[in-house]
């Protein structure tokens, strides 16, 4: 897991503005301390669940929804509707997601039975520690992403000669001694060799790769995920 989307209201109820801003900073610090990149919709202006926001959620591995009071038309503190929408959208896309709920609010509507952490703004340390543990569990479950260089140089020459439309790359995970399904991934040429990017590899897993060029196949043995380059051999 490399990226989380942090969903929160950019226009909180005036009575809760300072605390919301403080909580946002604390959550970002927690995520970044675990080498996670934090995406938000703040530079898109917030508001409704637009395609640009949906795309960022889809690009993220998980979502953290901070539900602090928002001001409705009658100046009442209520759940910010678009934060709930972003949380629901993340679940619909199969993302890991969790809500931090301000104690002044009540969960309503869909997904009321999903996990959330009740947040006391005057004593938030316990909830933030639980969030930290949750992120660690997600990282262990989802694994990390790896950029891998594919060698030898001869393979890159053949791919360039054949054209990317006539070649494709796949990887297979080995987890708990059981091989998984082959999954297609992109490859591209860089100085020194071909490069590919494999997402969400658990630390305890191994993986192998194969590149198909017409009726020819190049393959590797199962490797540990900390490898930065892999040598593939041409099948007979």
Same domain, 48 and 13: yes
Q: Are 215 and 204 in contact (CB under 8 A)?
A: no
- 142, 174, 202: which is the final residue of a domain? 142
Give pLDDT, residue 209.
Answer: 95
Residues 70 and 123 in one domain: yes
Say yes or no: 44 and 160 in one domain.
no
Per-residue pLDDT in tens (0 to 9) along the chain, 236 residues? 889 999 999 888 999 899 999 999 999 999 999 999 999 987 766 566 788 999 999 999 999 999 999 988 888 888 888 898 999 999 999 999 999 999 888 765 544 445 678 888 788 899 999 999 999 999 888 888 889 999 998 999 999 888 767 889 999 999 888 999 999 999 998 887 899 999 888 888 999 999 999 888 999 999 887 778 899 999 87
Provide the sign of the torsion angle of the four alpha carbons 109, 113, 116, 121, taken in this order. positive
149 and 128 in one domain? no
What angle is formed at CA 150 by the lines to CA 184 and CA 210, rounded to 5 degrees? 40
Question: Torsion-angle region of residue 230: left (phi > 0), alpha (psi -120 to 50) or beta?
Answer: beta
How far is Cα 66 from Cα 184, in angstroms, rounded to an integer?
35
- Domain that residue 25 falls in: 3-142
Task: Specify whether 37 is located in the same domain as 133.
Answer: yes
| Count: domains in the chain | 2
Are residues 58 and 154 located together in one domain of the fold? Answer: no
Write the CATH number for 219: 2.60.40
- pLDDT given at position 32: 95
* Model pLDDT, residue 111: 43
pLDDT at 79: 86
CATH number, domain containing residue 96: 3.40.50.450
pLDDT of residue 141: 84
DSSP single-letter state for residue 16: G
pLDDT at 117: 87
Asked if 52 and 150 sit in the same domain, the reply is no
Residues 137 and 162 in one domain: no
Q: Is the distance from CB of 189 to CB of 154 less than 8 angstroms?
A: no
C-alpha distances out from residue 35 to 26, 82, 195, Å: 15, 27, 23
């Amino acid at each position: 897991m490399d990226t989380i989307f942090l969903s929160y209201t950019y226009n909180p109820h005036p009575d809760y503005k300072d605390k919301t801003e403080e909580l946002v900073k604390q959550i970002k610090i927690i995520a970044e301390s675990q080498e996670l990149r934090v995406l938000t919709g703040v530079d898109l202006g917030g508001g409704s669940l637009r395609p640009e926001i949906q795309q960022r959620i889809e690009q993220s591995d998980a979502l953290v929804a901070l539900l602090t009071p928002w001001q409705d038309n009658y100046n009442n503190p209520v759940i910010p509707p678009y934060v709930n929408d972003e949380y629901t959208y993340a679940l619909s896309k199969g993302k890991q997601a969790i809500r931090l709920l301000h104690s002044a609010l009540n969960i309503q509507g869909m997904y009321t039975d999903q996990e959330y952490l009740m947040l006391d703004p005057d004593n938030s340390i316990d909830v933030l520690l639980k969030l930290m543990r949750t992120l660690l569990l997600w990282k262990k479950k989802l694994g990390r992403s790896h950029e891998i260089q594919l060698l030898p140089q001869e393979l890159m020459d053949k791919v360039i000669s054949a054209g990317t439309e006539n070649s494709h790359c796949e990887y297979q995970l080995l987890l708990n001694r059981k091989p998984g399904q082959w999954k297609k991934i992109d490859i591209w040429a860089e100085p020194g060799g071909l490069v590919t990017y494999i997402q969400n590899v658990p630390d305890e897993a191994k993986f192998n790769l194969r590149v198909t060029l017409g009726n020819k196949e190049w393959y590797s043995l199962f490797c540990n995920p900390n490898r930065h380059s892999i040598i593939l051999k041409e099948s007979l």
